[in-house]
Amino acid sequence: MSKTIRIGSRTSKLAVAQAEIVAATLKAQFPDYNFEIVTKTTLGDNVQNKALYSFGGKSLWTSELEELLVSSGPESIDMIVHSLKDVPTTLPDEFKIGAVLDRADPRDVLVVRSDLAYKSLSELPPDSVIGTSSVRRTAQLRRRHPQFQFKVVRGNINTRLAKLEDPEQGYTCLILAAAGLLRIDLGDKITQYLSSPDVLYAVGQGALGVEIKKDDEFTQTLLDKIRDIPTTLVCTAERSLMKKLEGGCSVPLGVESTISPDGVLTIETCVISVDGTEAAISKLSRTVKTEDEAVTMGKDLAQGLLSQGAGTILEKINYDKLSQN
Ligand SMILES: NCc1[nH]cc(CCC(=O)O)c1CC(=O)O
């Protein structure tokens, strides 16, 4: 019987679609192996109103799957597929990101309620209600479009879209990641793609990250065949930038990155105050060939943001977060 590799995933439609991408990519390289997807509900799927990135010191989205990664029982798995943007910059000591795969469209998009004819942010009436729970999205939009209202919306993509279409809820539109919609065949919901200077996307958005045990050399050799090197360099720089700014709290950081075929990496990044009035913006362009160079570029971008006042903006955001809890 041929060897079976077990791929862990959360249960949402998007998570399973992403695990299937990794399974298919691996199968193309290793046709003699079987790849099986194992789904598991995580605390994050059930708790929808807590701080989204951490709960009792553990990652809300990954702990249950990480338990299967270290387990030696019949339930054990070999890897976990994540949206890279949901993976904390610091993982528990026994795990690592074994590979980052090719990135889908990383941009955020506008999804307007289907019975409304508006095609873009600039067409929306002034009192429009924008559904998002992301500080990054809200702060950037408030800066450019102070006339809009913002209302929190939670749940997975399908839940959010259902809330948008329910007139009782009062949303005019949502801001979502293009990649999530495209991967579950809901690209036709997209009304407008957003980019700088309206909305810069989240670190790692659109890329898939595969988590494995640090000492699992076998699975690492499989992943070495499917990693995308340019995406790895871009996302390494973005994650280094975020890590440098974090100090234990998630930060509402926007990025927009491109890498040319000859390795010139360009990253624009911003941190905006929640009310949209203060902004720190930094942009760098340099040749990056190694992960170490990507890490350095991320740190330099963080330094650029800090010299623009990002530290004060972030302190204020973290203070507000603490006083809400
Ligand atoms: N916050 C949840 C989340 N995590 C990853 C994606 C989309 C896929 C991706 O960004 O890779 C989404 C939905 C969204 O933000 O619209």
Give yes or no for residue 205 CB within 6 A of ligand 1. yes
Nearest CA to ligand 1 atom 7: 180
| Bond preceding residue 106 cis, omega within 30 of 0 | no
Domain that holds residue 171: 108-193
Give yes or no for residue 83 CB within 6 A of ligand 1. yes
Measured distance between the N- and C-terminal CA atoms of the chain, rounded to whole angstroms = 53
Which residue type does 79 have? M
The confidence score (pLDDT) of residue 219 equals 98
Residue 200 lies in a domain: no
The confidence score (pLDDT) of residue 57 equals 44
The confidence score (pLDDT) of residue 318 equals 78
Q: DSSP per residue over 120-145, as a string? A: SGGGS-TT-EEE---HHHHHHHHHH-
Q: Do 154 and 13 lie in a common domain?
A: no
Nearest CA to ligand 1 atom 15: 177
Give yes or no for residue 206 CB within 6 A of ligand 1. yes
For the CA of 175, the closest atom of ligand 1 is: 16
Do the Cβ atoms of 81 and 7 come closer than 8 Å? yes
Residue 62 lies in a domain: yes
For the CA of 205, the closest atom of ligand 1 is: 10
Do the Cβ atoms of 156 and 13 come closer than 8 Å? yes
Nearest CA to ligand 1 atom 5: 83
Q: Do 223 and 281 lie in a common domain?
A: no
By three-state DSSP, how is residue 63 classified? Answer: helix
Residue 198 lies in a domain: no
Tokens for 162, please give them. Answer: 């259902």
> Residue 118 sits in a domain of what CATH number?
3.40.190.10
CA distance 325 to 317: 13
What are the residue numbers of the active site? 86
Which of 83, 136, 175 should be mutated for ligand 1, with most atoms under 8 A from CB? 83
Residue 292 lies in a domain: yes
Distance in Å, CA 74 to ligand 1 centroid: 31
Other beta carbons within 10 Å of 168: 6
Q: Do 132 and 276 lie in a common domain?
A: no
Q: Do 96 and 218 lie in a common domain?
A: yes
Nearest CA to ligand 1 atom 11: 206
From edge to edge, which strands make up the β-sheet containing 253-259? 253-259, 264-272, 279-287
Q: Do 66 and 141 lie in a common domain?
A: no
For the CA of 202, the closest atom of ligand 1 is: 10
The confidence score (pLDDT) of residue 271 equals 96
Residue 271 lies in a domain: yes
The confidence score (pLDDT) of residue 54 equals 46
Give yes or no for residue 177 CB within 6 A of ligand 1. yes
The confidence score (pLDDT) of residue 224 equals 98
Distance in Å, CA 83 to ligand 1 centroid: 7
Q: Do 87 and 112 lie in a common domain?
A: no
Residue 140 lies in a domain: yes
Give yes or no for residue 107 CB within 6 A of ligand 1. no
> Residue 276 sits in a domain of what CATH number?
3.30.160.40
The confidence score (pLDDT) of residue 42 equals 76
Largest Cα separation within the chain, whole Å, is 63
CA distance 118 to 129: 13
Q: Do 233 and 220 lie in a common domain?
A: no
For the CA of 208, the closest atom of ligand 1 is: 11
**Model's pTM, two decimal places?**
0.93
CA distance 321 to 54: 13
Q: Do 37 and 180 lie in a common domain?
A: no
Give yes or no for residue 10 CB within 6 A of ligand 1. no
For the CA of 86, the closest atom of ligand 1 is: 4
Give yes or no for residue 131 CB within 6 A of ligand 1. no
Sequence-separated (6 or more) residues with CB below 8 Å from residue 76? 6, 68, 69, 70
- Measure Cα distances from 302 to 8, 107, 256, 288, 323 in Å: 33, 21, 14, 17, 26
The confidence score (pLDDT) of residue 325 equals 46
pLDDT along the chain (325 residues), means of 10: 92 96 98 97 65 49 88 94 94 96 96 97 97 95 96 94 97 98 98 97 98 98 98 98 83 95 97 94 98 98 97 86 61
Domain count, the chain: 3
ipTM of this complex prediction, to 2 decimal places: 0.94
Q: Do 12 and 91 lie in a common domain?
A: yes
